[in-house]
Structure 1
Amino acid sequence: MPEIRFEAVTKSFGDTPVIRDFTAEVADEEFLVLLGPSGCGKSTMLRMIAGLTDVSSGTLEFDGVRVNDLEPKDRRIAFVFQSYALYPHMTVRANIAFPLLMARFRWYHHLPVMNRIMRHRFLKNQDIAGRVEDVAAMMELTDHLDRRPRTLSGGQRQRVAVARALVREPSMYLLDEPLSNLDAKLRTQMRAEIAALYQRVRKSFVYVTHDQVEAMTMGTRIIVLNDGVIQQYGTPKEIYDRPANTFVAAFIGSPPMNLIPRDGRLLGVRAEKVRLTDAEGGPRGTVAVVEQLGAETVVAFTLSGAKDLHYARMPGDVVFAPGTEVRVDLDLTAASWFDRETGRRLP
C-alpha cells in the first residue's frame, strides 16, 4: 500500500508537453482524485502511475523506491478502464478470475486446445474459486457469475470490471473515469459503491474524472489539473472553501463561485452565500434565469451595469420571474479575494 511521490514529473509527446513539472506527495491509503477538464493530462498521469506510459523526465516513487522503469506487472496495481474491457465470450466468473488465471499460465497454456483445458481446470482451483466467490459477493454479483457480459446492465458490467481488479488484492487501485458511460442514476449508485469499497479495503485509490461531484463525494484528496499543471492539491473542503485561483474557483462548485470585480480585485462568493431580496439596500441586480430544482432554486442574475452572470442558491419555495429587479445581499464571512491580473488567491 504505497505512498506515491511525484518529483518534477513531465510528459511530452514529441514537442507537445502534456504534463508540466508535476510535484506532489500522496500518503498511503488516500483516495486521490485527479480532476480537471478534458485534455488536462489526468489520464496520462494515471497511465504513468500504472507504467503504461513512460515518464519523460522527473521521478515517480512508490514508498521511496523509484519506479520509472518498472514494468506494470511489477507495480502491484489494478486498473479499471473507462470502457469495461470485459471478454464477451467468457462468463462473469471467468472474467473476474482472469488475472488469477494469467498469473498461473505458462507459455504452452496459450496453445488453442491447452488454453481451454487449463482455464477450466484453474477455475475449479479451490483458492481461485474462493476468491472469486468472495469478491462477487462483495460486489453483489453472486447471482450473475455464470452469465455472459452481454446479458448484464451497464452498472453490472462496471461491477464486474471492479471485481476483476479487486480479486488480485493489489496495493493500489487506478480508475480511469469508470462511471462516464453510465446514466445519472447508475452513476450515483456506483459512486456510493466505490466509496464504500474504499472504506472496506482501505488501500490507495487513484481516480480520474472530469466530474467535480465524483471528486467531492469520493476523494480524500484532490489534485486539480489544467493544461498539465497542478492548480491545487488538498482536501475537498479546502479546495471548495479556499480555491487557490480563479480557475479552481470557477471549476469547482455547481454553480461556480461568483467572481465580482471590486476595488481592483475579484471578490469570490459561493452561490449559497448570496441572497436576493426586494428590500432596500445592497447592490441592484436583475434576474436572468431561474432553475427550480425541487429542494432548492438556483437564480442567475446580472449586477447593475454589468453583463456577467452570477448565481444565488436559495430555498426551493423562493420564486423570482426573469426580468425582476432585486437587491443582492452578499455574506462575506467566507469570501475569497483574487488578484485580477494573475487570478491567484490573495491573503
Structure 2
Amino acid sequence: MPFTALNFPIAASDPLGELAWSKIAHVETQHETFFAKAGMTAKAKGDQDAHRRKAGVPIILHDELKSEPGSEVRVRMRKQLTSTPRSAYGTITNYGTASMLGLEEPLNYYDMAVKLGLLKHAVGNDSPDFYQHYTSIDMEQDAEAALQEWLVENHEEGILDCLYEKYPYFIQQQLSASAVANPNLYYGEGATAQDEVDQSMIFDANEAMRLRSFAIWKKLNPVKIDGKTCFIVLADTFVCTDLRQDAMFRELKDADSRGSDNPIVSGAIGVYQGLCIWEYQRMRTMTSGANSANIGRIGLLGADAIAVAYGSRPRIVPRVETAYGDRWGRAIRQVFGASRADFLESDDSATTQQSSAEWRVWRKAETFA
C-alpha cells in the first residue's frame, strides 16, 4: 500500500499554534521589565483595608485579558468617614443618646481610569525565499525576539510616562488623553519654580531627607520590605553620582538593611533613612525651560503608585498578504494601558494622590563624545 502523506493540522501561522507562546510571552513581558526585575510589581488583589494603611509595591498589575468588554479599567477608592466627636459635622450624633436620624454621613467614592490602547510594531524584508540563502540565522525567531524586546522597552517607557504625565505616550496619542503633571511636584531645597534651581540644589543626603519627610507627612502608601516600610526613589546616573559623593550618605546608607535578599533592596545603590534609592537610566530631564538639560527629574514611589492593565496577551501576527512571495513580515500587538494613581472625585473636582511625587533637582551632567 502506498504511503499517504498527512499534513500537520496546525500551521505555523494558526492561532492554535501561538497560544502557548503567547501566554509565555505575556508573563515574560511582565517579568522582563526593569520594574518587575526590581520587585516593584505585583498582581492586584483588591484586599485593601479601609481602616489601615496597607504596605505594598509601587506598580499594580490588572490582568483583565478580555474578561469583560470595555476600553478602560476602573479602579475605585472609598474615602474614610470624616465625622468624629472633634468635628463640626454632626458632633452631637457621635456620642451619647442623640438621634442620628437624618444626619447620616454619605459614603464618598473616588475613582481612577486605566485607559486601554493598542501597542504594536512590525518587522519585515523583501524576497524571503531568496535572502534566506544569505544566512543561517532563523529570521522568524530573531524577529519575534526583537519584537518582544521592543514591547518590553515600550512597557517601561509607558510606565515611566505615567509617573510624569499620568498616561503612556501611545494612550495620549491614540485616545487624545491629556498629559497631567504629577500633583506632587517639588524642587530642590524648597525652590518653587524651575528657573530658581541652581547648581547648589543637587540630590544629596539633606535633599533625601526632604523626600522622606514629604512621604511620611503626606502619608504616601509605604512599600513593605523585610517587615519594614520604605519608599522607592528612582534617579538617573548623574543625580545618583551627586548623592554618592555626599559623605553623610556614604556613612549612613544601608545601616539597617545589610544582608537583605529582597530585590528592591539588593538592587538599590543604597538604602538611606527608609528610602531605597535606585539608579535608572530611563529617568528623564526637562526638555524646555531654564537649564533644562541640567534638571534631573527624580521619582518618589510609594505603594500602588501606578496601575497597569492588560487587555490582551502579546500576539505575534504573520503578514498575510505577501505580494506574491516578495514580502515577509512579523508583527507584535497587545492591548495595554497604565495610569498614575490619581483618584478623582465623582465630579472630577478634586484629586487625591498618595502614592508618588516628582522631585526636580540640579544634576551635574557630563557630556561624552
Q: Give the TM-score range, shorter chain.
A: under 0.3
TM-score normalised by the chain length of structure 1: 0.25
TM-score normalised by the chain length of structure 2: 0.23
**Structure with the larger RCO, 1 or 2 (CA within 8 Å, 6+ apart):** 2
Greater strand fraction, Structure 1 or Structure 2: 1
